[in-house]
A and B are shown apart, each in its own frame.
Chain A
Amino acid sequence: MHANTFDRFEHRHSLIHRLDPRVKTVITLLFIVANVLLPDGAWLAFLAAWAFLLLLTVLADLPLFYAAKRSFIVLPFTLAAITVMFTLPGQPLLSWQMGSRQMMITDAGLLRFVSIVIRSWLSIQMAILLTAVTQLPDLLHALQHLRVPRILVAIISFMYRYLFVLADEAMRLLRAREARSARGWAGKSGGTIWWRARVAGHMVGQLMLRSLERSDRVYNAMLARGYDGRLLTLNPHRMQPGDWLAGVLAAAVIAGIQLLGRLPPI
């Protein structure tokens, strides 16, 4: 597995790709925060926020619904919010008998549920967009400029570098298990559950020891190459006037959307 598995679009050269990663990160966070602050049922503002997102996608030279297509990862979590439909007091829209309990969907509950789902859906699309238009090393470097502790950034960079190496290692372990324990019909598995858990646990332990040894070797190799605790980059990351302009423009749009969501309808 290689890093490229995940960044198919980071290396393009669109207007958005060329922006300073700091601007992109701050705007993304601002967008998500503003999103969370929008009141329930601010449909116009939700629509405007999505339009803004699509505009950015087009400017970034990505397929129009690129982010939307990948946003379904939040779906399981919406289950957690479903209960709100039943418990918020309001006008009943739909009610039925379930066992001994009277189930009732209220208008206020439905409004809130739909708003929660839309908010999180918009937020995740923005996050997807951010990763699609920024190379991860740049993103991490931006975090460092934004005062995230250096050591945390360094740890995350290392993790990203070795993620693929160790994922490969894990795949090899899985393949070895597949090769040695033939699988029964219809997905039936052999052995007792204890035995299966023990095998998996031993694989995890094995992987851990290998990782620990690898970290030793990596550290020694780094020392041999002159590592002194600092991670250097060739990318200067200087804010250009264009970056400032883009940042201010985007912030203004986000503020406008917020206003739109809070104004009474005409």
Chain B
Amino acid sequence: MSLAPSLFTSPILASATLLHIPDGFLNLVISLLCWLISLAVLAGAVRSTQRQFDERLAPLAGIMAAFIFAAQMINFPVAGGTSGHLVGATLAFIVLGPWLGMLAMTAVIASQAIIFQDGGLVVMGANILVMGIVPGVIGYGIYQMSRGRSRAVQLAATGVAAWISVMAAALVVALLLGASGTTSLSVAIPAMLGIHALIGLGEALITAAALSFVMQTRPTLVQDGAAVGQRRWVIAGTLVTLAVLLLAPLASASPDGLEWVAEQTGFLDTAQNAPYNILPDYTLPFLGETGVSTILAGLIGALLVVGVMFGLFRLLRRPRQAS
């Protein structure tokens, strides 16, 4: 491997999964809505981390964000010339704690957009939501369910958490694109989930291996960090999972969001007789049978996975409590 070209391409292209949404692919209403959610969550993150770290926060979170960025350069050959690498949200949430991890991921996403144009500026709120908040909270919630089990169970849960978090991110991207009328959901959802099922495997393996390394060399780091509020994060993860899954049918049923608002406020009428009237009476084709059935299938599948996870942890918990 020649290092010189990888120096340029790998921080950029390694992260160029289909998760960094560029400007122009989401309509304005969706972009602003995502900003709103992201900012509200980030405000919580800032408040709670500032209380914990005060003026230490900036160097700590900044350098750990740089770490996530650099860690995305570390790849390993999978097969046929493709390579696995880290996306990072689950690992960041576990080793840094959820709030600090969220801030670090946000800084990573912001600088990827500002410095490398990997991901848009106006849609940055959506990217923060998709890559920083949703996967992290879901992954961390799953990881928290395994706390107190044996190390092997925790590592397995971490792998599963990392995989599901990448899948959730992919699903949210597909939903946002679909709701913006930029893609057809019936194609986008299976396509995005299919690609990221593979990418997620790399993520799962690296995340679990990295965590096992930290557990061996610095066990205190993962032990005290997040002992408090375990249950809260399990609930948060479950809620976010449910929100993502419930949004799927909603996004497919609602017409192009901007168009809807425009119609409601009569905003399109002010831009009178624009010749591009394909928009107003544009009916969404993916309401067809195939689209709905795909979404339903995805929903049932995901619920099944969550159910199996819950059952698994229940089973694993019992013998421990007995002993």
* Contact yes or no, A207 B70, CB < 8 A: yes
* Contact yes or no, A36 B31, CB < 8 A: yes
Is A119's beta carbon under 8 Å from chain B? Answer: yes
* Contact yes or no, B210 A205, CB < 8 A: yes
Closest chain A CB from B190 CB (angstroms): 11
B198 surroundings in chain A (CB, below 8 A): none
Tell which of B48-56, B135-143, B235-243 binds the partner.
Answer: B48-56
* Contact yes or no, B187 A264, CB < 8 A: no
A265 surroundings in chain B (CB, below 8 A): 275
* Contact yes or no, B59 A218, CB < 8 A: yes
Is A219's beta carbon under 8 Å from chain B? Answer: yes
B76 surroundings in chain A (CB, below 8 A): 189, 196-197, 199-200
B111 surroundings in chain A (CB, below 8 A): 156, 159-160, 163
Q: A123-B24, A199-B76, A222-B59 are in contact. Are A178 and B1 (CB under 8 A)?
A: yes
Alpha-carbon distance A116/B177, docked complex (angstroms): 11
Is A154's beta carbon under 8 Å from chain B? Answer: yes
* Contact yes or no, B122 A29, CB < 8 A: yes
Is A236's beta carbon under 8 Å from chain B? Answer: no
* Contact yes or no, B16 A73, CB < 8 A: yes
Is A48's beta carbon under 8 Å from chain B? Answer: no
* Contact yes or no, A170 B120, CB < 8 A: no
Within 8 A of A (CB), among B77-92: 77-79, 81, 84-86, 91
* Contact yes or no, B55 A227, CB < 8 A: yes
Interface residues on chain B, size class: 35 or more
Closest chain A CB from B122 CB (angstroms): 5
* Contact yes or no, B7 A81, CB < 8 A: no
Interface string of B157-191 (1 = CB under 8 A from A): 00000000000000001000100011110111001
* Contact yes or no, B114 A139, CB < 8 A: yes
Is A13's beta carbon under 8 Å from chain B? Answer: no
Is B286's beta carbon under 8 Å from chain A? Answer: yes
Closest chain B CB from A184 CB (angstroms): 10
Residue in contact with A119 in the complex, picked from B24, B59, B63, B81, CB distance below 8 Å: B24
Residue in contact with B74 in the complex, picked from A70, A84, A203, A211, CB distance below 8 Å: A203
Q: A171-B7, A209-B214 are in contact. Are A215 and B74 (CB under 8 A)?
A: no
Q: A116-B24, A123-B23 are in contact. Are A73 and B117 (CB under 8 A)?
A: yes
Interface of B is mostly: helix
Alpha-carbon distance A128/B18, docked complex (angstroms): 20
Closest chain B CB from A10 CB (angstroms): 11
Closest chain A CB from B320 CB (angstroms): 26
Residue in contact with B118 in the complex, picked from A73, A86, A197, CB distance below 8 Å: A73
Is A6's beta carbon under 8 Å from chain B? Answer: yes
Alpha-carbon distance A38/B244, docked complex (angstroms): 29
* Contact yes or no, B184 A264, CB < 8 A: no
* Contact yes or no, B25 A262, CB < 8 A: no
* Contact yes or no, B205 A231, CB < 8 A: no
Is B296's beta carbon under 8 Å from chain A? Answer: no
Alpha-carbon distance A1/B12, docked complex (angstroms): 15
Closest chain B CB from A119 CB (angstroms): 4
Within 8 A of B (CB), among A64-97: 70-71, 73-74, 76-77, 79-81, 83-84, 86-90
A199 surroundings in chain B (CB, below 8 A): 76, 209
Closest chain B CB from A109 CB (angstroms): 9
Is A247's beta carbon under 8 Å from chain B? Answer: no
Interface string of A200-235 (1 = CB under 8 A from B): 111111111101101100110010000111010000
A204 surroundings in chain B (CB, below 8 A): 71, 74, 86, 91, 206, 209-210, 213
Q: A36-B122, A160-B115, A163-B111 are in contact. Are A262 and B23 (CB under 8 A)?
A: no
Sort A-B residue pairs by CB-CB distance and give the 10 closest, nearest first.
A201-B209, A158-B62, A120-B24, A205-B213, A229-B55, A123-B23, A197-B205, A119-B24, A211-B67, A200-B76
Give 25 pairs: A residue, B residue, CB < 8 Å, sorted on A. Answer: A5-B7, A35-B24, A74-B24, A79-B18, A80-B173, A87-B186, A87-B285, A120-B23, A120-B24, A136-B115, A155-B57, A155-B61, A155-B107, A156-B107, A160-B111, A162-B63, A163-B70, A170-B71, A193-B78, A198-B212, A200-B206, A205-B209, A208-B210, A211-B64, A214-B63
A interface residue numbers (CB < 8 A to B):
1, 5-6, 28-29, 32-33, 35-37, 39-42, 70-71, 73-74, 76-77, 79-81, 83-84, 86-90, 108, 111-112, 116-117, 119-124, 127-128, 131, 136, 139, 149, 151-152, 154-163, 165-167, 169-171, 173-175, 178, 183, 187, 189, 193-194, 196-209, 211-212, 214-215, 218-219, 222, 227-229, 231, 262, 264-265
B interface residue numbers (CB < 8 A to A):
1, 3, 6-8, 11-12, 16, 18, 20-28, 31, 42-43, 46, 50, 54-67, 69-71, 73-79, 81, 84-86, 91, 95, 103-104, 106-108, 110-111, 113-118, 120-122, 173, 177, 181-184, 186-188, 191-192, 202, 205-214, 217-218, 221, 271, 273-276, 278-279, 282-283, 285-286
Given contacts A81-B25, A166-B69, A205-B214, 13 further A-B contacts (CB under 8 A): A36-B24, A74-B24, A77-B20, A80-B188, A155-B62, A158-B61, A162-B63, A193-B205, A197-B202, A207-B67, A211-B70, A212-B64, A215-B60
